[in-house]
Amino acid sequence: MPKGRTRTTSLQVAGALLVGAVCLWFSLRGADLASFGAEIASLSRPLVLLAMACVLLVAVLKALRWRWLYGPALPSPTWSTHFAILMISQMLNLVIPVRLGELARLGLMRQEGRQIGVTFGTIVVEKSLDLLAVGLIVLLAVPLVLIPPSLETQFSTGGLLLGGAIFIMLIAIGRFQEVLIDLLARIPEPKQERWARWLGTVRRGIVAVLSSMGSLKGRRLTRVAALTAGIWLLSLLTVQIMFLAFDLSLSWGAPLALMLALTTSNWMPTPPAMIGVVGAVTVAVLSAFGVDQTRGLALGTVLNAVLVGPPVLMGGAALWNRLWQLGAAISLHSLRRAAGLSDDKPEVNAQPQDGNHERT
């Protein structure tokens, strides 16, 4: 590895560990450990298991969406192959403080006969869809939390409205993305050079996101938009179920705010398994809704396990299965090959490229 890349990686790891240490200090300071243990002991375990099931279902939907993003033109690996590769990717991103997951997806799909450029395109569209969904959630959050007080605590009302709005707006963006790009180009340039540069950077980013939607047309756009809305609605439901597990009765804006905060916190370097980050974010968000620090820390600690546990376990199992299929002795090189991080192209459970594959 070149010295420059090694230095960058070391800085990323150091930064992630520092973030984790600061978050742990923030969430633990002033916490009552005796009350913390009581909160953990009194939670509803069936609801925690239900939240874990929601996390797995989100992964299932993401794998199906990823498969559909390849389109019907070429034979595609099975859904189970996409799911296993996605789990390996998520496990690597969670366990290692360097974003290796997307590299693993490129390498593993290359082993399955998919060109790197095609896979890279699907990942770009996937990230664009989720980025658009986050933006839409932020835009819709304010009017939706202002629903009448009689409906304030009804999660189903606000959640379904939000999911439906995301679906409809993604459909509209996909169908009219060229019009939106043209409107962006007509925005007048600010006279000040600094603001002109800022606007140019923002405009290029938005155009890149909108352009990536150009490959989605017709029924494919509808299915992918529906899956994206379902993914975010299930993610919101996961947080709400965790609130119920700790007997927290808050307006539905609380799980919405926590979900958005956890999503954006994952954009920065995070320590292994996000230890400290989930707890600190939960404490900070729930304090604004009147939840004391100890209870927020207890919820954040269990939520950390709920969000991290399923993908790490499933990803570890998928990685072990690919390693076993390679038939190689366990070593760093064989692990890299099984994770798609090696330059060679081993044939792992290769599928014949004929018409027998399921079409989208």
Top-confidence residue, 8 or 245: 245
Amino acid 209: pLDDT:
84
Q: Are 296 and 282 in contact (CB under 8 A)?
A: yes
355 in Cβ contact with 75 (< 8 Å): yes
- Predicted pLDDT at 54: 95
Question: What pLDDT score was predicted for residue 6?
Answer: 63
Contact 342, 104 (CB under 8 A): no
Lowest mean pLDDT: which of 88-97, 132-141, 293-302? 132-141
Q: Which residues contact 7 (CB under 8 A, 6 or more apart)?
A: none
For position 9, what pLDDT does the model report? 67
Enumerate the domain spans of the chain. Answer: 11-71+119-307
Mean pLDDT across the chain, nearest whole number? 82
CA distances from 178 to 181, 206, 224, 295 (A): 5, 12, 19, 48
pLDDT band at 258; cut points 50, 70, 90: very high
Which residue, 228, 138, 121, is CA-closest to 174?
228
- Alpha-carbon separation of residue 199 from 3, 25, 98, 133, 357 (angstroms): 35, 38, 30, 22, 46
Say what the pTM is. 0.83
Please state the rounded mean pLDDT for residues 10-22. Answer: 71
The number of CA neighbours under 13 Å toward the Cβ of 213 is 28
Nearest to 61 by CA among 292, 188, 226: 226
The pLDDT tens digits for 299-330 are: 999 999 999 999 999 999 999 998 888 876 67
- Whole-angstrom distance, CA of residue 176 vs CA of residue 169: 10
What pLDDT score does 286 carry? 92
64 vs 274: which has the higher pLDDT: 64
Model confidence pLDDT, tens digit, residues 71-125: 776 666 788 999 999 999 999 998 887 778 899 999 999 988 888 888 998 999 9
